[in-house]
Structure 1
Amino acid sequence: MTKEIKRIGVMTSGGDSPGMNAAIRAVVRGCAYYEIDCIGIYRGYQGLIENDLEQLTARSVKNIINRGGTFLKSARSKEFITKEGRQKAYDNLKNAGIDSLIVIGGDGTFTGAILFNEEHNFPVVGIPGTIDNDINGTDYTIGYDTALNTVVDAIDKIRDTASSHDRLFLVEVMGRDAGDIAMNSGVGAGAEEILIPEEDEGVERMMRSLENSQKSGKTSSIIVVAEGEKSGKNIFELAEFIGEKMPGYDIRVSVLGHIQRGGKPSCFDRVLASRLGVGAVEALMRGESNVMIGITDKKVTSVDFEVAIKGQRPIDNELRRVLNITTV
């Protein structure tokens, strides 16, 4: 069923990710193509509550496809958590003549969209924008590929120093609840071991790996550690633990931090964002709501928000097997 949509609001929320600008651009240009007004909402749900809105045209989004971050900006909103805050947001949408909403973000953004839809029966469609790749119902999220390339490039540089000085480097990457960045960048950069939130045996396996490396005469190693790994130690405590158990290692720590969020989006992320942005506009035109637009087996698909934010995806055992083989 085709629904007549006259004015779509678009916003970014939560942590920024490379490719969000490309997604906004695709939404705006998709609206222009279908002769639909597009209203940009600055600073996410908080900007919606404060009525920080601006009409966007195809000219408004020129030269942004290559820019990192989000020109609509992002913010976390405590006020939107309240029913009163969501009522303000709804009133502002109605007063602006906006009849549907596209939200670009992660699980927190989609959780807010679910509540908003339940209370006000307002059409909302989501686009997954998060470097963690921790959303169900899509093979990839916008920003993930760029973050991986940033991490691999950083680890390559760290390895040069590790080799020159015979050092063991612990490299912390983002991933509070999901180890996709750590696992894939670790394999891509040739790490000797990877610690991720989905596994509890990482430290024991890491120690066995380091012992085997020492016995074989290896003098430098890279261990990739997701920030949410389950040892109960932060990365500096982990380095101290290794030093106590294996005093022969010269150990250094590198926390990559927010450099993983920044930078120009990769071609993959630009294309993905463009496909999902147009897909979100067309989903609203079909009368869909309370869904996320994702990519599965190279095809644009839609999945209920409840499915998208439900639980944790299993780790890729094939990647773990490859890691075990390539670090022998």
Structure 2
Amino acid sequence: MRFEALEYFTAAAEQGSFTAAARQQFVSQQGLSKAVAALERELGCRLFERDGARLRLTDAGRALVPHARQCLAARDDLAAAMRPFARAAGPLNRPAASPPVLHAAAFVADSLFSLLDRELTAAGLDDVAIIEHSYAEIMGELERGGTDAVFALCLPLDEARELARAPHVAFRPLFLTEIMLAGSSRFIRPGKGAFSLERVAELPVAYYNDAVLNWIVRDMFRDCPLENVITHASNLTRIANYLTAGKAVTFTDSLSVFLSQPDERLAYAPIEGAARFCMGFAHRSDEAPDAAALAYVERFEACFRARCAAYLADPAHQPAA
């Protein structure tokens, strides 16, 4: 049992939300959720139930809270007791280097970093603190200045071109991707071609609530609005349940499809006239960026290009220089 999982559990119990707990712990929401799910499997019981938009502790969860806090307190007491015995000099007494800090749009943290989890771990790139922000917050920080932060964000192509032209911003585009459709065989049969926007608009849809994705979807369907939205929320588990039960389709993108593990319950299809967007890294060009974060970005880009060489071989996925 990992102390990290107990920390995430107690944070979620106190905050009543995986999203709020992840923000407090400086990790992605999906990473925190996965750690809690692994703890539930290890203990053999459910610790949380959904109560509307909030998490509710189960009886097992309520019973675990004091024990988890006791374990974490014991860990801290042990570290404090050993500190006086640490050698005054030498490698064991040198403080560990702080992990690099990357500021990311929630959609990027929940998708790209999770999909590349295995590769990033193998490359030693999993030791990074990811602080999530809304798209508006990131753009505001880049506009105001006075920050050395490095941001990871995705945005529509027109906005990416404008950001690349901004005199006060250094923008490093990494890849382009396009919206695709995902669903069960009830709705999608592989090899049957692309769906028209009009056809998609008639289907039951469950999709992720993110400011940039909302913007992209609204623009895609401006002439034929979605007629049957079953859920539009940041609850990935609920959306996945709708998909696998054959109750709805959802929106994904070509890179996510490329990186996803095969799942016989799901199929994917292109959409005619689908919106495309760009993912990249940005920081102020008139101020010195966080050196550790920038070094991390360079290593991340190298790891991404190695893993996604086949994806980037398609010119449609290559950002303009």
Alignment TM class, shorter chain as reference: under 0.3
Which of 1 and 2 has higher RCO (CA within 8 Å, sep 6+)? 1
